[in-house]
Amino acid sequence: MPHLSESESPLLRRGLGEAFHWGTSVAAYQIEGAYQTDGKGLSVWDVFANKKGNTYLNQNANVACDFYHRYEADLDLLQTLGIADFRFSLAWSRILPNGTGVVNQKGVDFYNRLIDSCLRRGITPWVTLYHWDLPHDLERRGGWTNRDVVGWFCDFAEICLKRFGDRVPYWMVLNEPMVFTGAGYFLGIHAPGRRWLKNFIPAMHHAALAQAEGARVVKAHRPQAQVGTTFSCSYVTPLTDSPRDVQAAVRVDALLNRLYLEPALGLGYPLKDLPFLNRVEKYVRPGDESRLPFDYDFIGLQNYTREVAKHSWWMPFVNADLVKAAKRGCDPTLMGWEVYPECIYQMLRKFAAYPQVKRLVVTENGAAFPDTVTDGRVHDPRRTQYLQDHIAQVLRAKAEGVPVDGYFVWTFLDNFEWAEGYRPRFGLVHVDFETQQRTVKDSGYWYRDWIVQCKAEPVMQQKENTEK
């Protein structure tokens, strides 16, 4: 696997120019805290994480990184690291406490301050409209299983565009719809904790509709804005070359990687490879097929690992099982994921192969490893190497013509990692959750230096060309 050696780094950086975005991503629920402050309503994650037995050690994000109160200092830290592109989400229930109806002006004021504070520091805001925190009152009315959620979401999007659209150039509609519908409405391991196909199928279709309709809202209010949406993806390979394992990998790929992407591109749901999805016909209304696609300015690709699939009679619907990294002799991350840098290259190539995809941005990539503060420093060589190797693969894809022009590390601060609680640390910055002390990790300093070198390289190239 290629990595960024001293001799290779300049070669990989050449040609990037100022147009390549080096950023970091966060999510409102995972960092903001202040979960009932200044009129904020409860979200599904507020309720889910405060119910015993749903998260690691029953942890919750009631305080998290306290970003709501500490955002100015955190943005100062982001600025010192030279990170000029910052992706964050808007908490729906902070703006609309009940999901619909009366706007909470204090919530709007917070995001206005956050956006303005970014701009004062030369940091470009990239805003995600929905990062999994549906207002609890809407879940009580069916949540994503209720078709009305498409209208609720569009109303929320319109409010956001009217309040913030004049200063935000980049918008993402949904974050990883496969994860929040699959984990939240089929497996029940994420909020709101619902299970089985009777919940997943309607949630799937309504999320796919909301994704496109939300993009239309953005363009209707800000035609000049760049609008995209983000998809989780994993490079899927078969355990063996046997036809049964190969076909199992095809089905897993259809479920994990194609289920939301292809409808968004006008190709419909992958029914041929996943026949159980035919149940969606019950929820499809006339005109839905034409409403599912949208001509996105960019697609956000979010990749962390690969998955190895094998045939299994015992797994319902897909007849496939995933072989865990540890069972394959890998040294996994704290999430149990294999470190396989080429996966991001393969997924960039796969997404770029769709003619409808005009532009790609890696909106999340990162790794969780054990981190400790020693003498005021956090030495995290495995994360640094992970970032180096994955960035090398991104630039490999770009050199081969893949239209990728951005890379965002997940994540800026150690945070509340959903059902895994505070155990996995993905951040470039260590957070002591008892004291809220921030400590930049070695990987954060490496990323800072890499960004500086990338910005300097085109200048040096221009100078060399002038001298010639």
The mean predicted confidence, pLDDT, of the chain is 95
- pLDDT confidence of residue 3: 54
Q: What is the tens place of the pLDDT at every residue in 163-188?
A: 999 999 999 999 999 999 999 999 99
Evaluated on CA atoms 155, 184, 26, 110, the torsion sign reads positive
Q: What percent of the chain has pLDDT over 90?
A: 92
* Mean per-residue pLDDT, 252-262: 98
User: Is the pLDDT score of 14 beyond 60?
Assistant: no
User: Is the pLDDT score of 390 beyond 70?
Assistant: yes
Q: What is the tens place of the pLDDT at every residue in 79-113?
A: 999 999 999 999 999 999 999 999 999 999 999 99
Q: What is the tens place of the pLDDT at every residue in 264-284?
A: 999 999 999 999 999 999 999
Residue with the two structure tokens 């994540």: 411
Measured CA to CA, the distance from residue 214 to residue 375 in angstroms comes to: 48
Nearest CA-CA partner of 357 in 347, 365, 367? 347
State pTM to two decimals: 0.95
Measured CA to CA, the distance from residue 252 to residue 273 in angstroms comes to: 9
Measured CA to CA, the distance from residue 59 to residue 49 in angstroms comes to: 7
Measured CA to CA, the distance from residue 205 to residue 219 in angstroms comes to: 22
Q: What is the tens place of the pLDDT at every residue in 174-226?
A: 999 999 999 999 999 999 999 999 999 999 999 999 999 999 999 999 999 99
Which structure tokens are listed for 466?
């002038």
Instruction: Classify strands 437-440 and 429-432 as parallel, antiparallel or unpaired.
Output: antiparallel
Amino acid identity at 371: D
Which structure tokens are listed for 198?
């009777």
From the candidates 32, 176, 338, 457, which is the catalytic residue? Answer: 176
Q: Kindly indicate the confidence band of residue 315, based on its pLDDT and cuts at 50, 70 and 90.
A: confident
Q: What is the tens place of the pLDDT at every residue in 332-389?
A: 999 999 999 999 999 999 999 999 999 999 999 999 999 999 999 999 999 999 999 9
CATH no., domain 8-467: 3.20.20.80
Go through the chain and tell me how many residues it has.
Answer: 468
Reading phi first (left if > 0) and then psi (alpha if -120 to 50, else beta), residue 211 is in: alpha
- pLDDT confidence of residue 251: 98
From the candidates 338, 364, 417, 457, which is the catalytic residue? Answer: 364
Q: Which residues contact 373 (CB under 8 A, 6 or more apart)?
A: 430, 432, 439
Measured CA to CA, the distance from residue 228 to residue 357 in angstroms comes to: 11
- pLDDT confidence of residue 460: 47
Residue 307 appears among annotated catalytic residues: no
Q: Kindly indicate the confidence band of residue 458, based on its pLDDT and cuts at 50, 70 and 90.
A: low
- 10-13-18-21 Cα dihedral, nearest 10 degrees: -140
Residue 176 appears among annotated catalytic residues: yes
- pLDDT confidence of residue 316: 87
- pLDDT confidence of residue 462: 46
Three-state DSSP at 356 gives coil
Query: Which element (helix H / strand E) includes 364?
Result: strand 360-364
Amino acid identity at 108: V
Measured CA to CA, the distance from residue 250 to residue 320 in angstroms comes to: 10
φ, ψ for residue 257, nearest 5 deg: -115, -25
Q: Kindly indicate the confidence band of residue 455, based on its pLDDT and cuts at 50, 70 and 90.
A: confident
φ, ψ for residue 432, nearest 5 deg: -85, 110
Least confident of 292-296, 331-335, 451-455: 451-455
